[in-house]
Amino acid sequence: MDFPVEATVRLDVFPERAAVLDVLRSHGFALTDVGGGQVRVKGLFRHLKAAKASLEPLLAAPTASPVPKASPVPKASSGAAAKRPGGDGNGAAAARGRDEPRSNRGEPLSSPNHASPTPPPPSRPPSAVSPPGRRGPSGPGRESFVVDADVLRYAEQLRAKDLSGILLGHGVRMEPPREDADGCESRVVVLLGKSARAAAAKLQALLEDLGKSLRTQEVPLRDMDRDGHALWKRIRGERGVHQAVVVRPMADKLHLIGPPAASYELKQRLLGGSGGRTGRTTEKNSKRRSTSLPPIRRKGVSRDRGGGAREGGGATAEPSPPRPPRGGSPPAGSPPGFRQGRAPRGRSPSESRKNIRVVSACVQEAPPSPMTHKKALLNFVNDRKTDIKKKMSSLKKRK
């Protein structure tokens, strides 16, 4: 799977600008001149990798005195040497060939410029675009490669010993990488020395392995609380490093570079964190359970006080009043409202049964008061007396 890519190429680091443009066009890139010796390229990522491999040899030529391509030069320069006889003419033509690419830096070089320079001096190798790392005896070797800017920043701050070990072990030095004004995310690492090729291979392997274990996080400054700003102040005092995370300030945010877990944890701390959310949820649930009990307890108390308890579909659990004796009316002297008064007295058994059911359902209920049992006993004795009197009166009437 391939994806589109856009990048900025510095032309001033190459001795042959026209050769660079030819390589980019040959790989199908759309070129846009952005000024300042830079060009914007748009294309596919696989084409970018292929173009990178083709451009790396072009960086091997020295930038101070650029030498044109050597392979086509001998054939083309033979005719140019014949037109200008004499040693001075050849020297002037060579000088014009060296100065011409720099004077026309604002525009792409045309193809005739490739054939105008004379052959290089005999002390130089026959080909100036030889593989990187191979140079003549007059200068050190040179090797370059492209690396992610965040990975390079992280390595320079937290893996400086490893970088120094590779450079010192191979006797090479690294040119300070220049950052693009438009915020390009890649950097060109240039190594100079006799063992530049071997050092570049080890350094590139180290940075690639390091990049696999790093992640980036973005923290907007407007979302940080007071504790987050205080933490950022402490990190600035530690040269922008917090534990294993490198913090880089930008216009309106902080750019975090580090391992996934450590960078995410630091991001949460800068934003105030999300701790305590579970505790608040648990507290809310416990309050909900506690408020559900008192209504049941109050209902139980009201039922024990004779508040008309109901069962099932709302029918009152109240026994039917006693049947009057056959052939007669209620005994004289009975208190008025006799039947109405019996309903609350007869509810005590059903109320007791309801209390038993409620307690068996593990719901808190208040126990029945002692007065309820006393009233029930008195009602039972009075009922028995009334029945006995009725039977005695009926026997007397029969006699």
Instruction: Round to whole Å and give the CA distance between 206 and 379.
Output: 99
Q: Which residue has the higher pLDDT, 18 or 196?
A: 196
- Does residue 64 contact residue 107 with C-beta atoms inside 8 Å? no
Residue 319: closest CA among 345, 355, 337, 356:
345
pLDDT for the residue 367:
56
Among 15-19, 72-76, 235-239, which range has the highest average pLDDT?
235-239
Q: Place 223 in a pLDDT band, splitting at 50, 70 and 90.
A: very high
Least confident of 20-34, 78-92, 209-223: 78-92
Question: pLDDT tens digit string along 321-366?
Answer: 555 555 445 555 555 544 544 444 555 555 555 454 544 444 444 5
Percent of the chain predicted with pLDDT > 90: 17
Q: What angle separates helix 160-170 from helix 149-158, to the nearest 10 degrees?
A: 90
Helix ranges restricted to H, 58-133: 73-83, 87-103, 112-115
Least confident of 47-61, 125-139, 149-163: 125-139
Task: Outline where DSSP puts E strands in the chain.
Answer: 4-10, 30-35, 38-44, 142-148, 173-174, 186-192, 215-220, 241-242, 245-249, 253-258, 310-311, 315-316
Least confident of 223-227, 281-285, 299-303: 281-285
Instruction: Round to whole Å and give the CA distance between 5 and 399.
Output: 125
Report the predicted TM-score, pTM, of the whole model to 2 decimal places: 0.39
Enter the tokens of residue 93. Answer: 């033509």
Q: For residue 140, count other CB atoms closer than 10 A to its CB.
A: 16
pLDDT for the residue 273:
74
Percent of the chain predicted with pLDDT > 70: 52
Q: Please check the confidence at residue 199 and state whether its pLDDT lies above 50.
A: yes
Q: Please check the confidence at residue 243 and state whether its pLDDT lies above 70.
A: yes
Instruction: Round to whole Å and give the CA distance between 334 and 209.
Output: 105
